[in-house]
Amino acid sequence: MKRIFKNILFKILNTPEKVNTSIFSGLSRGIQNVMFEGNNAVPDGCNFSGKVSVGYATTLGYNNFIHGDVKIGKYCQLGVGVAVFTKNHPTNYMSTYINKNLFNGELKQLRKESEVVIGHDVWIGHNVIIVGNVNIGNGAILAAGSVVTKDVAPYSIVAGVPAKELRKRYADSIIKEIETLKWWDKSEKELEKIKPLFFKDFTNKTSIYE
């Protein structure tokens, strides 16, 4: 009986709910802190605080933790367990402790606060952690398990702890063309016209129009 009740409760809690054009599944906290542009997907266990914006068609992963002043662009994909933190404990003072148990939490005012900006069409892998004052360029790929503490160049692939650039995805000429095209800002009709470009392999190419 207990198992049946659990299964029923699980199905109820995980039934997708459509709000405007975005889909929410399971239980997430702090949704009121987020501005969604539309066509977003938010699965179970996500947690938000601060001032967060999520661009059009960006999809989140299970148990994403996004805290602070965070801007995420359009058409991004976040894997399971991704965490973004823009606030950090003070490190140049007597203590890093900011809980209310010490001086009623007054040391919280010493906490460092910054901003994370994630561009468009960014793929963030499983368990990636992004901390500090960081800008992630358009089209970047953050490999699973990476800890990102510095800016990431557009269309680069980074990995490791701390994350370092492995390589660029394309030739610089192609990167320039895509940045000029700004396909993420186009309407569905406009995207249909350039649809063949999305099926091209740019390996060893110097132009998206070859």
The half-sphere exposure of 21 on its side-chain side, counting CA atoms within 13 A, is 11
Do 108 and 43 fall into the same domain? yes
Do 118 and 190 fall into the same domain? no
Do 159 and 181 fall into the same domain? no
Do 133 and 197 fall into the same domain? no
- 67 a catalytic residue: no
What tens digit of pLDDT does each residue of 129-157 get? Answer: 999 899 999 999 999 999 999 999 999 99
Question: If you write DSSP's letter for every residue of 177-200 in order, what string do you get?
Answer: HHHHH-GGGS-HHHHHHTGGGGG-
97-113 mean pLDDT: 85
Do 165 and 179 fall into the same domain? no
Do 163 and 178 fall into the same domain? no
The half-sphere exposure of 149 on its side-chain side, counting CA atoms within 13 A, is 7
Q: Are 68 and 116 in contact (CB under 8 A)?
A: yes
What tens digit of pLDDT does each residue of 36-47 get? Answer: 999 999 999 999
Single pTM value for the model: 0.88
Q: What is the CATH number of the domain that holds 134?
A: 2.160.10.10
With tokens 């492995």, the residue in question is 166
Do 17 and 81 fall into the same domain? yes
With tokens 């660029």, the residue in question is 168
Do 129 and 195 fall into the same domain? no
Q: Is residue 65 part of a domain?
A: yes
- Distance from C-alpha of 114 to C-alpha of 208, rounded to nearest angstrom: 36
* Helix (H), strand (E) counts: the chain: 3, 18
Domain of 163 in residue numbering reads as 12-169
